[in-house]
Structure 1
Amino acid sequence: MICNALFSDFYELTMAQGFWKKGNNSKTVFEMFFRSNPFKGGYSVFAGLEPLLETIKNFHFEKSDIYWLKSLGIFEKDFLEFIAGFKFSGNIWAMKEGSVVFPNEPLIRIEADAVEALLLEGLILNMINFQTLIATKTARIWQASKKGAIMEFGLRRAQGNDGAMSATRAAYIGGAFGTSNSLAAKELGIPALGTMAHSWIMSFKNEEDAFQSYADIYPDNSIFLIDTYDTLRSGIVNAIKVGKRLQEKGKNFGVRLDSGDIYYLSKDVRKRLDEAGCPNAKISVSNELTEEIVESLVQNNAPIDSWGVGTHMVTGGNEASLTGVYKMAARKNAGEAEWTPVMKFSDNPAKMTNPACKQVWRLYNADGSFKADVLTLEDEKIEEGIEQTFYHPANDYQNFTFTPAKVEALLEKRIENGKAVGKIPSLKEIKAYAEKQLDSLDYTSKRLLNPHIYKVSLSEKMRNLKQQLIKNKPVFPIH
């Protein structure tokens, strides 16, 4: 875990000195949100929060960092002395890790001096963007498998050492039940999984000897990789021979397919296992699996018991990052009692930000499923059982009226004056919460293709404030 405050974009440091030098280190509110769901999906799974909060508590500059900054010749001595004692002293609100989340709603809200808030930007985006991307990818694969047994096999394809550890953690939250990453299994308490590689089989005189030797050592965990030479003419034949010997001892076994036409091979292998009197033998598959491939295999009733997913799970596959951003929502200068709401303007309404200190409310249907999320001013409260109208964030003509059966405020205070507050959930609790959240999301938003767009709306007060700021925005002459 990197706790060095130099883990920041350089312009954060130059801006921080600018604020400090001009005496403009005012109180600020920043929010982290993302602009669109990855993978053209209908939802995202929020991940990375707990390690982020732990890192923020220990975020600091080393003496060598200050010496290096001094050597650059652009930072003043007094400023360097000021940041040498940096320790976050502000407040942070966040949604629960494992929450199902949607575009343009704040996942994290930071209230701090401008310098402190700026120095956290790169760290927050780095940790949340990646883990949320991977948790979401895994959730899509897990949902495609109909909540099957998903194994994370991505260590060797992950983006560096830390990328592998972070990806394993996020994949576990998103639905993987175990990992091949031994260090992550130890450090995070995730079940360690693994069978054999082709090199094991090629190290023996023949395939049957390789399988038998493995079964002798691991009689309770024998899963034979059957595609080293020929899956149907050799691999499954030898696996059945050795497997039946295990069955005579009261043990079960399994086989793994790692190449070829997975659908055709799994059907044929299942038929042979059943005909040989091995109906309880399990079939595991791997080899560049994606959610689309998994969904197709499941829909076509491929007899697969577990799925080993690597590259696409731990890298995000064809989508390299979450579109997370970090934007100011309010400021308060010295001596001022009230926050001044601020927003980013744009010719594209979808790119405008939502102003002010906010709360996010989740509205529920009577059956406990999610209906919509609503952004409100911090001091607003949405009441359940009362009909209310909510507004599209970019198109004032679109609105809906709804009587929520239940409401939930999603942003909870997690750091107060630099100190942790609230209960810290275990990784298992986060994983269980993510599953519960996914169960509460309508299936139409979980479709891989053309998912339903979940509503993220504004309260009337938030809508009115945003319109007022747009009306009063600066007007510049056209040149």
Structure 2
Amino acid sequence: MSELITPNVADEELALLTDLYQLTMTQAYWKESLHETPATFSLFFRKLPASRRFILACGQQHAAAMLSQLRFNDTAIKRLKNTQMFDTGFLDWLANWRFEGDIWTVPEGTPLFPNEPLLEVDAPIGQAQLLESLVMNLVQLETTLATKAARITWAAGDHPVVDFGMRRMHGIDAAVRGVRAYKTAGLHGTSNVLGGLRHDLALNGTMAHSYILAHDDERDAFRAFARHYANTTLLVDTYDTITGVERVIDLLREEPSLTVGAVRLDSGDLGDLAKRARALLDDAGHSEIKIIASSGLDEHSIAELINDEAPIDAFGVGTQMGVSADAPVIDLSYKLVEYAGQPRVKYSTGKVNLPSRKQVYRRQDAQGRYCGDVIALRDETGLDGEALLAPLVKGGELQTATLAQTENAPARVREALRHFPTHVTALEEGESDYTVEESAALRDLAKKA
């Protein structure tokens, strides 16, 4: 029965969260005595989704920290033994498996473009191969959600955005880890209690229509909730939005000791209703009461409301962000790019990768704007720009100094986006003209590999 109610993957099970072929390939390396051969794997994407002009790398440092602690415990070994697919000697080797390599990552919240590595793993192939499925899963989700959230916060400008999306997200793990991605992208709060507490993002919430409907009169519901919670937010559209706003005003007139921080609009023509609600509140002397809007919002509808000068103070965004509805996947790849000191290239049609260990340099023009990136070999010297990749795990040990250098991701994300040209941050579908080129040394190596 306990199997039926286990809510998600326990930490001690993470080593088993992989595809079968990772284990069978690793056993094959072990049988052929190749498992100690040094290798480098690179995590990258080849093309952007049609509705994206950049992706916001997120989760790669989280993944690196987790992978450095990965273990096959006694229970995992017993479960693998029960499959009768693995040799006893290989299972003994797995029982002592530890990641002892290096993981280079870009900082959380780094805008990236096709073929630029989010991370690279340098380790014996028997260690690096086993990480593939888990690292892709961890980074895929957070990068997808952070990219969508970054577009939404960029569209909202100085208006706070709050996550309301938990109920329709793809599973409880996504709902919790998504809050981490939202925080990286600059959201101001979340209604998700566990996600907010775990990732230190402010908890925000209002009420549901069911609370209003549970009272015989909307005014009684407003009065009771305002008495329970000072400076609360009241949902005013259960019956008629404007009538709801008028009832809030009447309530404050009848009981001046009560405080209402905001009214929430959750249906209808949000721009028109916000203007009418603002006029009513201001005329009644309640300019301090803010207006929060929700209801199927995304970056495009938010931008339209702001362009129309709708007097909305904050936005609650749910499903569109929670599932990244217009681009729910980024086609990440984790590919072997160096083996036994030699570059490796996959030549499959449409799936060619850049060889060897790499670094990305981001260049700025005289005005401080980003003007292009260079993907280079990691040991190249004399290249201009900021090097984006740094070792977060060395010899299997997490480098806390590197991790500390990349804190305060929301501020760095907003600052980075301000430095890109507008064709990168534009919300409309279309190609970005941002230049990403390969260094001469990398091009030459790719031709020879």
Instruction: Report the Cα distance in structure 2 between the residues aligned to 1:408 and 1:423, rounded to whole angstroms.
Output: 15
Match in the other structure for 1:22: 32
Match in the other structure for 1:370: 370
Would the alpha carbon gap of residues 237 and 302 (structure 1) be closer, same or farther in structure 2, given more than 3 Å must change? same
Q: TM-score, normalised by structure 2?
A: 0.93
Match in the other structure for 1:414: 392
Q: Which amino acid aligns with 1:236?
A: V
Partner deviation per Cα, 1:61-112 (whole Å, 9 max, x = no partner) = 1212212222222211111111111111111111111111112111101011
Instruction: Report the Cα distance in structure 1 between the residues aligned to 2:109 and 2:271, rounded to whole angstroms.
Output: 33
Pairs within 5 Å for 1:42-191? 42-191=53-202
Match in the other structure for 2:433: 453
Tell me the secondary structure at the aligned position of residue 359 of structure 1.
strand
Instruction: Report the Cα distance in structure 2 between the residues aligned to 1:428 and 1:192, rounded to whole angstroms.
Output: 21
Instruction: Report the Cα distance in structure 2 between the residues aligned to 1:438 and 1:382, rounded to whole angstroms.
Output: 26
Report how far residue 251 of structure 1 moved.
4.5
Asked if structure 2 preserves the Cα contact closer than 8 Å seen for 1:141 and 1:291, the reply is yes
Asked if structure 2 preserves the Cα contact closer than 8 Å seen for 1:41 and 1:446, the reply is no
Pairs within 5 Å for 1:375-454? 375-384=375-384, 407-421=385-399, 422-425=401-404, 429-449=408-428, 450-454=430-434
Partner deviation per Cα, 1:344-385 (whole Å, 9 max, x = no partner) = 11344xx3111111111111112222111111112112444x
Q: Does 1:316 align with 2:324?
A: yes
Instruction: Report the Cα distance in structure 2 between the residues aligned to 1:297 and 1:324, rounded to whole angstroms.
Output: 34
Pairs within 5 Å for 1:466-477? 466-469=446-449
Match among 432, 443, 448 for residue 463 of structure 1: 443
Which shows bigger deviation, 145-154 or 1-10? Answer: 1-10
Tell me the secondary structure at the aligned position of residue 5 of structure 1.
helix
Which shows bigger deviation, 25-34 or 278-287? Answer: 278-287
Tell me the secondary structure at the aligned position of residue 343 of structure 1.
coil
Which shows bigger deviation, 70-79 or 128-137? Answer: 70-79
Instruction: Report the Cα distance in structure 2 between the residues aligned to 1:451 and 1:151, rounded to whole angstroms.
Output: 29
Report how far residue 260 of structure 1 moved.
1.4
Partner deviation per Cα, 1:218-272 (whole Å, 9 max, x = no partner) = 22x221100111112x2111112224567x4595531101111212212221222
Match in the other structure for 2:345: 343
Asked if structure 2 preserves the Cα contact closer than 8 Å seen for 1:38 and 1:133, the reply is no
Asked if structure 1 preserves the Cα contact closer than 8 Å seen for 2:100 and 2:396, the reply is yes
Q: Does 1:257 align with 2:265?
A: yes
Match in the other structure for 1:474: none
Pairs within 5 Å for 1:171-320? 171-219=182-230, 221-232=231-242, 234-244=243-253, 248-249=256-257, 251=259, 253-320=261-328
Report how far residue 462 of structure 1 moved.
0.9
Instruction: Report the Cα distance in structure 2 between the residues aligned to 1:177 and 1:440, rounded to whole angstroms.
Output: 22
Report how far residue 37 of structure 1 moved.
2.7
Q: Which amino acid aligns with 1:456?
A: V
Q: TM-score, normalised by structure 1?
A: 0.87
Identity across the alignment (%): 34
Which shows bigger deviation, 374-383 or 79-88? Answer: 374-383
Tell me the secondary structure at the aligned position of residue 237 of structure 1.
helix
Which shows bigger deviation, 67-76 or 459-468? Answer: 67-76
Instruction: Count residues in correspondence.
Output: 436
Asked if structure 1 preserves the Cα contact closer than 8 Å seen for 2:38 and 2:339, the reply is yes
Asked if structure 2 preserves the Cα contact closer than 8 Å seen for 1:133 and 1:322, the reply is yes
Instruction: Report the Cα distance in structure 2 between the residues aligned to 1:456 and 1:110, rounded to whole angstroms.
Output: 22
Report how far residue 133 of structure 1 moved.
0.6
- Structure 1 gaps of 5+ residues are 333-338, 385-406, 470-479
Tell me the secondary structure at the aligned position of residue 410 of structure 2.
helix
Would the alpha carbon gap of residues 427 and 105 (structure 1) be closer, same or farther in structure 2, given more than 3 Å must change? closer
Instruction: Report the Cα distance in structure 1 between the residues aligned to 2:212 and 2:406, rounded to whole angstroms.
Output: 36
Would the alpha carbon gap of residues 249 and 365 (structure 1) be closer, same or farther in structure 2, given more than 3 Å must change? farther
Q: Which amino acid aligns with 1:305?
A: D
Match in the other structure for 2:335: 327
Instruction: Report the Cα distance in structure 1 between the residues aligned to 2:145 and 2:304, rounded to whole angstroms.
Output: 21
